[in-house]
Structure formats: structure tokens, C-alpha cells
Amino acid sequence: MKKYVKIKNPNSSMRGRFAVYIISVILIFISVIILLFGLFGILNPANKQISDNLDTLLSRHTEAIENDTDELAACAISLAGQLESDLQSFLSENNLLFDNLENNKDALDKLQLEMYSTLHLNMQVAHPSGAFLILDTSVSCPSETQYYNGIYLKYINLFSDNTVNNDFTIFRGSFLTGHENSITFHSGWKNECRTDFFEKSEELFPDGVHYILSPAVEIPDTWETARYVYVPIRDIKGKIVGVCGFEINDLLFRLSHKPDVSELGFVVCGLLDNKENISGQFNSNRYGITDNFSYTKKGSLIQFDFENESCIGKTDSISLGNDSFTIAVMMPKNAYDMLLKKEQLKFVSIFLIIAILALCCSIYMSKKYISPIVRRIEQIKSAQKLDNSLKISEIDDLFDYLEQRDLLAEERLRQLEEDKHSAEIEAEKSRQAYEAALKECELAQIEIQRLSESTQAEINADEYDYFISNLGTLTETERKVYELYLDGKKAGEISEILGIKPNTIKFHNKNIYSKLGISSRKQLLKYAIIKQYQDSKSNKES
């Protein structure tokens, strides 16, 4: 507003006005550009960009996790079908019922040998970190600790995509199964697994539930954490007699869903369990992730607080198997803050650069176009020899025009001076005529005085005194008639002026004459003039 006022100020310099105009134009231009950028999403607020990028990553990971889990579930369902077939064949061939397997070490060892190849083959197809089949029976029933019989195989080298030649170990299973198939024994190997390792219940698999994805749990006797995709194994009557499925350990999760290194930096993804104590699997061990961490909503984003670090990210809910899980993507909070500041700084910097460029541009324009004008004017003002390098046709035209105007003004001035001289001569003549007239007037006055004095000497003093003393007795109409006579009006004119009949005038004349002691209009005028003369004389004296 001040600038605007300054522009309006007629005293501001041409250069100042020019610079302000240029800057204004450029700033308006910048505003339009920024507005257009904003409209097309090029200059979105930094946090919105981050939020959008996190959304994209979240969506990608959600889809990938869903697909991977579904694939494993499909393989598990296929595995269960094959194992059910193996089980039925074995029981038929050996004339056994499932219940007869309990404490029957030989039968269970043989059954494991039958089922091993099915399990191994399916593990090679599904490419999990491990595969298992667990039957609801044991070689040691009853005992203090309840066990399930079964086989649990684990890959040694998960980094290899080649599942056919990849080494694996037997983690749970009979010694015979390991030995007969020349499988390396896991250092935490046991021949059966505790019943609290896997849950089994008809209730776990109600109608419509095809598989279960377990929460992330620590695998006993290892340093690993894993989830399990598992499905029921049923006997010929449809009763659940065990479960089978695949293991997804932390390493497999990390290898399958590698962290994203994008413009957001290092973004970690996690599949979280919706439990009281939030835990889950993450695709990086970066944040010193602990089983218990918290997350709180911060606007459209979520803040995750780990033991050693806070992260900012997004979450989405996903239904896998019979449970719902949360998928999260997150980046370190300090990286988020820095990115935000960087984007803001970038925006401000771009704006500043353009503003400075505008300023420089206006200075340049001023120097290029205004300075020569000013210097030319200075040259012209100081009457220096004009430098042709500074020649500006518009200015020269302007000065030619001004010169022309000067000449015209000089001519006009000269004419006015001549007029003035003529007027002075005329005035002198008038003054002389006036003085002559005044002299004539004085002579006339003197003559009048002389005539008055001579007339005064001719009139009767008593009659004149009577005339003077009775003037006040005249009526109003008579006075008007008297005054009109003094003005040189005749009786007819007075009759017209006063709107009265001539006879009435005569009547008034008669009264006036009578009251003033005179006999004619001539005498009346004579006395009246004397009176005026005497009145003026006494006035002068006073």
C-alpha cells in the first residue's frame, strides 16, 4: 500500500517508479506461476506429498502381502488335501484308525516317512521359510507335557530362490525321518512339538474360514520369530486331526518385502498384529523394533514410537484368514521432519531467487533505460557538449518541442509588452483628459458658487427663511412632488410617476406654494438650489 502510495506520489523518481512497476509485474507473474503449479499439483504442500507417497507404498505392500499370503494359503490347502489322502491310504493299508496311532511309535515313524515327501515337495513349490504337518497324537501319551507328532522342516539358506537345491533341516520330526532322508538336524531339533506350539480346535476353522494366519510368535528353541499359514487336516469323517501349513519367518518377510528406498528415504513396512501388545513382522531391523511399541494418530499420519526411534507413517487394515491385521509403512521421524523443512526451504528459496532475480532485473532495466535518460538530462541541464552515445531521440524531440514552445512564449511575451506599452500611453491620455475635465469641473463649481452667491444676494431673506422653516410642514405626497420638481420633472411627469391626476398635482402645487410662501415653480427651484448649496457648504465645513 505504501508502495502504491509512493507510486502515486508525483515527487517519486522515475527510476523508483520504474523498479516498483517491474517488481510488481514480476511478482504478479510469479504468483500466477505458483497458482498454476498449485493447481496442477506441482507445488503441493510437502506433507501432502509425503502422505501421498506413503499411501502408494502402503497400497503396494498391502497388495503384495495379501497376494503372498493367499498363495501360501492356496498351497497349504493343496498340501492338506494331499496329506489327508496320504493319511487315509496309510490307515487303510495298515488297518488302523487314527486313534490307534497314539503311542504307536512304529506306525507314526512309518506315517511320517510316507508324509515327508509330500511335505517336502509342497515346501519346494510354496517357497516358505518352513513347512510343517502336526497331528493330534503323540508317541508319549500321557506325559507331563503334551506333544504333537509331526514333521517341521526349515530352509537353511533363505536367500536362495532355488528351492529345489536349497538345504533344509528337520526342526521337528522323528529321528528316523531325518536319518532316512539324510536331512540335517536343526540345532533346536526335537522329535515332537509341544501342544502349546499350535492351537487346534474345530472352532478355529468355522465354515467359510479356509486358512489361518497366526500372529508373529517366537519359534521355540530358535532366535527366530515367525507367522504360520495353516489349514486343518481332516480324517475321512471330516474331523480335524491336525494342521499343516507354512512358516513365514522374519527373514522371509524381509526378503519378500524389501524396504523401499525412495525420495522419502528408508521406508519400512510392517505387518502388525491387532493385539493388546502390538507386535509384528517388519521388513527391516533398522528401528530396534521391539515387541511392544505404540502408535498414535497425528493428522492424516501415524506416529510410531519404538524403543530407540520414532517414525511417521500410515496404516491400513487388512483381513487375512480369519483375522484382521494392520499393515504399516513408516519412515524415521527425523527424516520426515527434515524432508518437510527441506521442501519448505526449497519453496521459500525458489520464491526468494525469483524475487531477487526480479530485483536484479529491475535494477538492470533501470540502469539500461533510465540512467541514460537521467544522464542525458543532466548533460542538457549542465549545457555540456552533448554526447552522441547518449542520444535518445524521444528526449531530443521533447527538447525540440520545448524549445518551440519557448519561442512561442517569448513571442507572446513580446506582444504582451507592446500591448502594455500601448495601454500605458492610453492611460496617460485618459489621465490628462481626466485632469482637464476636473479642471473644467472646478471652474464650473466656481461659476456655480458665483451664481449662487449672486442669486442669494437677489432673493428676499425673509421669504427664503419662511421657505426653509416651512419645508417640514409638507405632507408626504407634497414632499414627493417637491423632490420630483427638484429632480427636474415636470407636472405631467410627476402625475405619471405618482399615479395621480394632473388636477391633484395642481392641488398639491397650490398647497406647497401656500405653505412655503412662494408663488411660482421657478421661485421654488431657486430657493431649493440655494438650500442645497448651503447644506453642502455646511457639511464641508463640519
Partner 1 sequence: MKKIALLLIAVLALNIFAGCTVSNKLSSDAPVTLNMWHVYGSQTKSPLNDAIDEFNKTFGKENGIIVNIVSVTSSSAIDKALLASANNEPGADELPDLFTAYPRVAEIVGKENLLAWDEYFSKDELSEFSDDFISEGYFDSKLLMLPIAKSSEAFYVNKTLFDRFCEQTGAGYSSLSSYDGIFKTAELYYDTTGSDFMQFNDHYHYFLLGMKAAGEELITDGTINCESEAFEALWDSLARCAIHGGICLDDGYAATRWKTAEIISNIGSTADILYQPDVVIYADNTSEPIQSVSLPYPAFGNSPLHTVYRGGGLFAIKSEDERKNNAAYVFAKWITQKENNLDFVSQTGYLPVKKDAFDTLFEGKYHVESENCRQLYETIEIMKENYTFVPVPLFEGASDVQHNFETNIKFVLKSARNRYSEGVSDGQNEKQIMDELVSSALDEFRVLCAS
* Residues that bind partner 1 in the complex, under the rule CB under 8 A: 105, 138-140, 147, 154, 156-167, 169, 175-176, 182, 184-192, 221-224, 251, 254-255, 259, 261, 265-266, 284-286, 288, 308-309, 332, 334-335, 338, 342, 345-346, 349-350, 352-353, 356-357, 359-360, 363
Grid cell in block for residue 66: 495379501
When the beta carbons of 349 and 445 are compared against partner 1, the nearer one is: 349
CB of 223 to partner 1, least distance (A): 6
CB of 311 to partner 1, least distance (A): 13
C-beta separation of 351 from 30 below 8 A? yes
C-beta separation of 290 from 311 below 8 A? no
Closest CA to 20 of 284, 264, 366: 366
Neighbours of 270 (CB within 10 A): 28
When the beta carbons of 37 and 266 are compared against partner 1, the nearer one is: 266
When the beta carbons of 345 and 416 are compared against partner 1, the nearer one is: 345
CB of 416 to partner 1, least distance (A): 52
When the beta carbons of 4 and 364 are compared against partner 1, the nearer one is: 364
CB of 345 to partner 1, least distance (A): 6
When the beta carbons of 363 and 413 are compared against partner 1, the nearer one is: 363
Closest CA to 270 of 253, 295, 294, 288: 253
CB of 56 to partner 1, least distance (A): 20
CB of 161 to partner 1, least distance (A): 5
C-beta separation of 294 from 313 below 8 A? no
CB of 220 to partner 1, least distance (A): 10
CB of 178 to partner 1, least distance (A): 8
Q: Which residues is 381 bridged to in the sheet?
A: none
When the beta carbons of 109 and 478 are compared against partner 1, the nearer one is: 109
Closest CA to 482 of 449, 515, 437, 444: 515
Cα distance between residue 349 and residue 329, in whole Å: 30
When the beta carbons of 280 and 321 are compared against partner 1, the nearer one is: 280
CB of 344 to partner 1, least distance (A): 12
**502-516 and 476-486 helices cross at what angle (nearest 10)?**
90
Helix H, strand E, coil C: the string for 380-433 is HHCCCCCCHHHCCHHHHHHHHHHHHHHHHHHHHHHHHHHHHHHHHHHHHHHHHH
Q: What is the dihedral of CA 418, 419, 421, 425, to 10 degrees?
A: 140
Residue 155: helix, strand or coil by DSSP?
strand
Q: How far is CA 380 from CA 249, 373, 383, 398, 404, in A?
A: 91, 10, 5, 12, 16
Cα distance between residue 424 and residue 430, in whole Å: 10
Contacts of 307 (CB under 8 A, 6+ apart): 288, 290, 293
CB of 246 to partner 1, least distance (A): 18
Neighbours of 507 (CB within 10 A): 14
When the beta carbons of 124 and 326 are compared against partner 1, the nearer one is: 124
For residue 200, which amino acid is it? K
CB of 219 to partner 1, least distance (A): 10
When the beta carbons of 40 and 159 are compared against partner 1, the nearer one is: 159
Outline where 312-370 has alpha helix (H).
333-365
When the beta carbons of 50 and 524 are compared against partner 1, the nearer one is: 50
Cα distance between residue 42 and residue 36, in whole Å: 8
When the beta carbons of 139 and 512 are compared against partner 1, the nearer one is: 139
